[in-house]
Each structure stands twice: as C-alpha cells, then as structure tokens.
C-alpha cells in the first residue's frame, strides 16, 4: 500500500470439492474498497467487486466469513460493531484455549475443560481498520477460480473460437 492508499486483502476460499480447499489472495482497492465498508460477517457480496480487469470474479457470489485488522486481531461474528472489545471467551474464534506448562525442561500443552481468557477482539462489521477479509464461494461463475488467477489453462473449447477469428 503506497501513500495511505486504502486496501483490503481478500482471501477467497474455493468451496468446489475439485479444488481441494484451495484459497486465493486478491487486493481490493479503489471503489471496490468502499463497497465492502459497513458489511457484516455473513453478508453476501457480488464477485464483480473482487479483483480488477481480467481477474474480476463476475458471475460469482461470495459470502464474508471473517477477517482481521491491522494488528492481526480477528473479527468475531457475535460481536456487533466495528470496534475493539475486551471479551471473556472460551475456545473458538480468537482463542485456541491452550495452556503451556514447563515441566522437566520440556513444554507441555494442555487443554483444560472450561478454560476462559479475556481477549481483545474486533467486531463483525468491516471498517477502515480491517486489513484482511475472508470470503467463501456461494455461487460459481462460468470460469473456474484457478483459471481466473492463471494457475491452470482454460478449456480449449472456450478460448479457441475467440483467438482464431
């Protein structure tokens, strides 16, 4: 990001079983940036707002599943608003629930029942402090995600008619 330019890093999770859980990373800037401000976790977004030019995901429908802010603090779906809140949480989003104990110059990891910690977590609304947005594919478009991002060649039947004419 150069010169105070606002941008999100969108991580798109391909839900197609053939893709084997592959994720793609795209920068969202400009007018598309403003489209995401104020959206909540769970909202659906049109794919044309993600990516630019040939890499735009037109025809796709994406759902916001989470994100994180400048410091890496995760967004939690059950916290309203875009600000930071100090919350007492049990293991889940934003807290793994492990306690490390040193015994005999070794470190052991325990997961106790009922362990809770106070953590600072970000609310579920995308704000200007958000730096990463996690998205999952709800409806697919005509082209596959790996073809759009140039990881595989597109089917020759589609491209050959356009190139020869």
pLDDT single digits (tens) 10-55: 888 888 787 787 888 888 888 888 888 888 999 998 888 887 777 7
CA distance 135 to 73: 17
In a domain, 101, yes or no: no
Q: Is residue 105 part of a domain?
A: no
Interval 61-109: pLDDT, tens: 889 999 999 899 999 999 898 889 999 988 888 888 888 899 999 999 8
Whether residue 88 lies inside any domain: the answer is no
Residue 62 in any domain: the answer is: yes
Judge whether 68 lies within some domain.
yes
Q: Is residue 113 in a domain?
A: no
Taking the C-alpha atoms of residue 42 and residue 63, their distance in angstroms, rounded to an integer, is 6
Span of 46-50, 54-58, 151-155 with lowest mean pLDDT = 151-155
pTM of the predicted structure, to 2 decimals = 0.76
**Residue 16 in domain:** yes
DSSP E strands, the chain: 7-13, 23-29, 44-46, 61-69, 84-89, 99-103, 106-110, 117-122, 130-139
Beta strand 7-13 pairing with 99-103: unpaired
Is 157's pLDDT higher than 70? no
What gap in Å lies between CA 120 and CA 73, rounded to an integer? 8
Domain residues for the domain of 52 are 7-78+123-155
Domain count of the fold of the chain? 1
Distances (CA, A) of 111 to 45, 89, 119: 37, 14, 17
């Amino acid at each position: 990001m150069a010169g105070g330019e606002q941008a999100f890093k969108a991580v798109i999770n391909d839900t197609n079983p053939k893709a084997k859980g592959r994720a793609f990373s795209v920068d969202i800037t400009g007018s598309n940036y403003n489209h995401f401000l104020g959206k909540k976790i769970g909202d659906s977004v049109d794919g044309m707002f993600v990516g630019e030019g040939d890499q735009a995901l037109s025809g796709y429908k994406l759902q916001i599943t989470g994100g994180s802010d400048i410091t890496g603090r995760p967004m939690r779906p059950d916290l309203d608003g875009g600000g930071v809140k100090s919350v007492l949480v049990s293991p889940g989003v934003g807290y793994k629930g492990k306690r490390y104990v040193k015994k005999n110059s070794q470190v052991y990891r325990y997961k106790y029942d009922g362990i809770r910690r106070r953590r600072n977590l970000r609310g579920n609304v995308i704000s200007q402090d958000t730096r990463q947005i996690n998205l999952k594919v709800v409806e697919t478009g005509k082209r596959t995600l790996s073809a759009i991002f140039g990881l595989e060649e597109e089917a020759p039947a589609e491209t050959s008619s356009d190139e020869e004419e």
